[in-house]
A and B are shown apart, each in its own frame.
Chain A
């Protein structure tokens, strides 16, 4: 019997033939819609690349790549312009290092406390506080750094050489506090994933709580903890408002945290405020520095995602 006759009989309602159910058209429409929505995220990435690449290509048509990477003078809007990105990179580095010096010990300390020491009640009170810290807009952190922390430092500075009004130290410190929740919550998650039997085994052998925390739980959760720190680094590098407000707007090749300096992000923001005409070299510098920033954070994020994957494979 050909399939055509089968279909005819089925249509005529001849007994013995069930109609093959066709997927309803609504189901297909829905699926197309859903795929389209999922594509938005891919298109965003494509959009970022499309937005960044052409101006950057044009930029490097005018500016030597070697000068950009190794040059020590960043003054793209002056005459004659200089395009050495190093001062911006070192400023980002200085602020990031200060932020990490604050955020890594405090964030990990908080994570160990919440995961290994705190009872239900203490966790219930302190976790929301950390969430509030994470939810405060960065412009508010910047305001606090500039108007409260810097005057405080200047007033109580022990040496003869107090920090400048704009300085990397208070920006970095406040940024460190801002990153604490990021590091603490990710690190705590990975410590919670360490099986209880490991802890019980260590206690049974006579370990103290400190020994269990530092020699059993911490190493077992290490890849997750490193992932948390890497994510913290990437947030510090990408943070804009705090440095734009509190670290100043002067490109400055220095490692002295008491001086003002302009980070990559602060430059992008400052140039954006300037509302430069499309196609000008100044406008294209936004994209060149933006691409550098995007590339650095992308590498950081990929490392972090990989590490999180790895620790998940072990304990789930």
Chain B
């Protein structure tokens, strides 16, 4: 016979009743969410604003023409775009090798118990937070006027190199640190010298991380205007740079220049140039994220 228990009602289980989420909790959660949302809304507003304002001027004239103070409808930003390319290329040329070599030294050679190595380390942390305009003063006082390089691509590239060097160093160090110690030990125990170990084992594994950090550092340099203002980058430039000793202007400076003009056409022009600048940064950042996701090895 089938036990009757199956058909009978299940015994009453005593249940604990939750107090429900108190209003205070919900309010707290909402305000946390709102503080994140404000940033997102701001970003959306900013992007919409520059695209809408700049839309009428987002035409080929922007990169085929040169700045024109009299006729804004025909003005373009070619000298600024080529100037940006010149300055950033040389910035990369100076700061990437120096930054990566410093990172290798600090991670692979430096003895952390020595005071001079700690000095270098604290120094780099500090340099990372020095205001960019102070680098401008350094560029003006030492590189431009002290060494006599003048208001040139070379001065700008050196100044920006020093500005982003700490970022390159810090991110390269993290990439090197992510390579496990066992790889180095295996290489050394097979008779490789320290440099062979670094060159053939550590660096290839760390390159994706370094590349990501370097691209982010360079994109910071591309958007930087303050130090270049001090170097006299605001001079009205209607020609492309012809070499490292040529005068220059860059996109952020050109944008600043157009913002200072009161006519509405220049506001549109500034917006259009901002869109170009943001697209360049977007491409670089996407490249950095893609490199990070596709080439970083998990150990």
Contacts and interface: CB of A to CB of B under 8 A. Distances in A.
A41 B105 contact: no
A19 to B, nearest CB: 15
A65 interface: no
Contacts of B195: 26-27, 30
Nearest to B135: A48
Given A41-B124, A137-B281, A293-B134, A304 B129 contact: yes
A132 B225 contact: no
Given A240-B226, A302-B126, A105 B105 contact: no
Nearest to B120: A38
A224 B270 CA distance: 39
Given A272-B136, A290-B137, A135 B274 contact: no
Interface string A210-226: 10011000000000000
Nearest to A277: B145
B35 interface: yes
Q: Which 3 A-B pairs have the closest CB atoms?
A: A238-B131, A137-B223, A109-B35
Given A133-B39, A210-B24, A146 B123 contact: no
Interface in A131-150: 132-133, 135-144, 146-148
Contacts of A26: 195
A65 to B, nearest CB: 20
A75 interface: no
B201 interface: no
Given A109-B31, A139-B255, A235-B129, 5 more contacts: A27-B194, A37-B102, A44-B162, A48-B130, A110-B36
B115 interface: no
Instruction: Name, among B36, B105, B120, B285, the residue most crowded by chain A CB atoms within 10 Å (CB to CB).
Output: B36
Contacts of A23: 193
B46 A41 contact: no
Interface string A103-146: 00111111011100100000000100110110111111111101
B113 interface: no
Nearest to B281: A135
Contacts of A272: 136, 140, 229-232
Interface of A: 23-24, 26-27, 30-31, 33-42, 44-45, 47-48, 50-52, 55, 105-110, 112-114, 117, 126, 129-130, 132-133, 135-144, 146-148, 177, 180-181, 208-210, 213-214, 231, 234-235, 237-241, 244-245, 265, 268-269, 272-273, 275, 278, 286-287, 290, 293-294, 297-298, 300-302, 304-305
Nearest to B36: A110
A50 to B, nearest CB: 7
B132 A51 contact: no
Nearest to B105: A34
Given A27-B194, A130-B39, A269-B226, A33 B125 contact: no
Contact of B25 (A210, A268, A300): A210
Interface of B: 21-22, 24-25, 28-29, 31-36, 38-40, 42-43, 45-46, 49-50, 53, 97-99, 101-102, 104-106, 109-110, 119-120, 122-127, 129-138, 140-142, 145-146, 162, 165-166, 169, 193-195, 216, 219-220, 222-226, 229-232, 234-235, 252, 255-256, 259-260, 267, 270-271, 274, 277-278, 281, 285
Contact of B46 (A30, A136, A287, A290): A136
B32 A112 contact: yes
Contact of A44 (B34, B138, B231): B138
Given A137-B224, A294-B134, A304-B129, A147 B53 contact: yes
Contacts of A34: 101-102, 104-105, 109
B233 to A, nearest CB: 9
Contacts of A298: 126, 130
A41 B133 contact: no
